[in-house]
């Protein structure tokens, strides 16, 4: 009898592990700007944990000061909603906790958000790219 419960528990644990990984949504952005820099961003959003993780790669920029996910449709500027830890001139990785409504909306409407990389010379943003699934 104990063996049956152990097997059922193991199957349930495997099922839950699969469900947890399915809750993560991967978004991508290709970044560019008028100054000639470029980059890519892969953003993973876990709605249940309200966690946003990123892998940012940057080329052709110097003196990078910050990077964020901003709320704003293509061609529109908006406020930062997920700050990244300060990247280097070649990019960076990290995770942050987002507000519940931001995590949910990032997954539902990624095109309403963009990744923006700021430099000393371009404090408003040197390169940016809209998020997409």
Q: How far is C-alpha 96 from the geometric centre of its chain's CA atoms?
A: 9
- Residue bearing tokens 């942050």: 96
* pLDDT the model gives residue 22: 60
Q: What angle do CA 56, 60, 62 make, to 5 degrees?
A: 85
* pLDDT the model gives residue 127: 98
Is the pLDDT reported for residue 79 higher than 80? yes
Global pTM? Answer: 0.83
Where do the domains of the chain lie?
Answer: 24-130
* pLDDT the model gives residue 18: 45
- pLDDT, one tens digit per residue, over 100-123 is 999 999 999 999 999 999 999 999
Taking alpha carbons only, the member of 56, 53, 26, 50 closest to residue 117 is: 56
Taking alpha carbons only, the member of 55, 61, 72, 54 closest to residue 38 is: 61
Q: Which residues of 47-71 are buried (b: 16+ CB within 10 A; e: fewer)?
A: beebebebebebeebeebebbbbbb
The mean predicted confidence, pLDDT, of the chain is 88
* pLDDT the model gives residue 2: 53
Spatial separation of the C-alpha atoms in residues 133 and 131, rounded to whole Å: 7
């Amino acid at each position: 009898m104990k063996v049956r419960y152990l097997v059922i528990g193991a199957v349930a644990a495997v099922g839950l592990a699969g469900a947890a990984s399915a809750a993560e949504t991967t978004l991508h952005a290709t970044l560019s700007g008028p100054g000639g820099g470029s980059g890519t961003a892969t953003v993973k959003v876990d709605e249940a944990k309200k966690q946003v993780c990123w892998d940012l790669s940057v080329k052709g920029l110097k003196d990078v000061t910050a990077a964020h996910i901003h709320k704003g449709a293509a061609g529109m500027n908006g406020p930062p909603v997920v700050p990244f830890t300060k990247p280097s001139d070649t990019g960076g990785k990290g995770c942050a906790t987002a507000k519940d409504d931001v995590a949910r909306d990032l997954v539902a409407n990624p095109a309403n958000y963009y990744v923006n990389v700021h430099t000393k010379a371009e404090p408003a943003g040197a390169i940016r790219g809209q998020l997409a699934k």
